[in-house]
Structure 1
Amino acid sequence: MSDLIQSFSVASGKAPTTLILGSIPGVASLEASQYYAHPRNAFWPIVCAYYGIDINQDYNVRLEQLNQNGVALWDVLKNAERKGSLDSAIKKHSIIANPIDQWLATQERVKKILLNGGTAKKEFMRHFASYIKNRDIDVIACPSTSPAYAAMRFEEKQQRWHAALSKC
């Protein structure tokens, strides 16, 4: 039997320019009620290094500083059934996407969407490709920051993420 997972609300400041989308929170994130809470997830080390945020600060302070830099965090999936944390365990029939199109319609300054990993990319394109097609928004697929994606070294992930974050 699978567990029903529900994602968090969008974490955004007043006028975001970049939206970073994961797939759906893992077990550690759900338990902590925090985006990217697994201690070996590379997300916070990568974005903190890019924006000059002290990674040792409290989660809420880091999130607020990320928002102040124009970055919003969310997940492509609103609900899904999954046992454990692996995206490969998501039951496809159970997927419900977040209303990203509705949110974007109210966020005219968002010009860049970064997709964190293959599942985020696949599900975003499945649900929102037609919506995003004629809009002035760059969609950039980034390597997963999850510790489960061990095929790429941290340094390579960081270099690719920093390149994506720097694109205008």
Structure 2
Amino acid sequence: MSVKRAFDPVVDARTRLLILGSLPGDASLDAGQYYAHPRNAFWRLVGEAVGRDLAVLPYPERIEALKAARVGLWDVIAGAERRGSLDADIRNAETADLKRLVEGLPELRAVAFNGATATKIGRKSLTGVDGLTLIDLPSSSPAHAARSYADKAAAWSVLGALIR
């Protein structure tokens, strides 16, 4: 089984909010884009939080719109073995250096975790980092359809206040 690797972080010196996933799924890895699976609700959810319909934009424009909204993206796992895209199938995970990333973001106020795996690993990785609001979000993944889109959107709506 080959090792799947995370993308580079999408951040800049103005990033106020960092959203962390677990590890890109196969559709994202194949496309070379964060949250590329067509049923993943990420772009709709974060778009509502920043007040812009990101899902309709071409990918490069989505990334620029996030940066303009002062939102960054990355994953808590730098690399791991995994068959398919489910977090439950992640083996031999190498944790991303989250502390180093957040220490280099002078305007960072909050870190949001997209799903249970990101929450578990991310909170542990950021132990001892002070001054950040940490937010646990329901996963935007289509594999986690137990919660309705409306419930997910309500939970994700708190992000808007963190970037304004």
Tell me: CA distance 1:167–1:15, structure 2 relative to 1, closer, same or farther (3 Å): closer
2:102 aligned partner: 104
Higher RCO (C-alpha 8 Å, min separation 6): 2
2:38 aligned partner: 39
Question: Deviation digits for residues 101-157 of structure 1, max 9, x if unmatched?
Answer: 11111112101000000000111123222x32xx11000100000000011001100
Which 5+ residue runs of structure 2 have no aligned equivalent? none
Q: CA deviation at 1:167?
A: 4.5
Are 1:78 and 2:78 counterparts?
A: yes
For residues 89 and 93 of structure 2, the distance between their equivalents in structure 1, rounded to whole angstroms, comes to 12
3-state SS of paired residue (2:158) = helix
2:118 aligned partner: 120
Q: Return structure 1 stretches of 4+ with deviation > 3 angstroms.
A: none
For residues 88 and 81 of structure 1, the distance between their equivalents in structure 2, rounded to whole angstroms, comes to 11
Question: Contact 2:98/2:125 (CA < 8 Å) preserved in 1?
Answer: no
* TM superposition score normalised by structure 1: 0.91
How many residues in Structure 1 have an aligned counterpart in Structure 2? 162
Question: Contact 2:13/2:106 (CA < 8 Å) preserved in 1?
Answer: no
Percent of pairs with identical residues: 36
For residues 71 and 127 of structure 1, the distance between their equivalents in structure 2, rounded to whole angstroms, comes to 20
Match of residue 136, structure 1, among 131, 136, 140: 131
Match of residue 152, structure 1, among 142, 147, 156: 147
* TM superposition score normalised by structure 2: 0.93
For residues 160 and 95 of structure 2, the distance between their equivalents in structure 1, rounded to whole angstroms, comes to 24
Q: CA deviation at 1:50?
A: 2.5
2:27 aligned partner: 28
2:60 aligned partner: 60
Question: Deviation digits for residues 89-108 of structure 1, max 9, x if unmatched?
Answer: 001xx111111111111112
Are 1:49 and 2:56 counterparts?
A: no
Tell me: CA distance 1:67–1:21, structure 2 relative to 1, closer, same or farther (3 Å): same
Which 5+ residue runs of structure 1 have no aligned equivalent? none
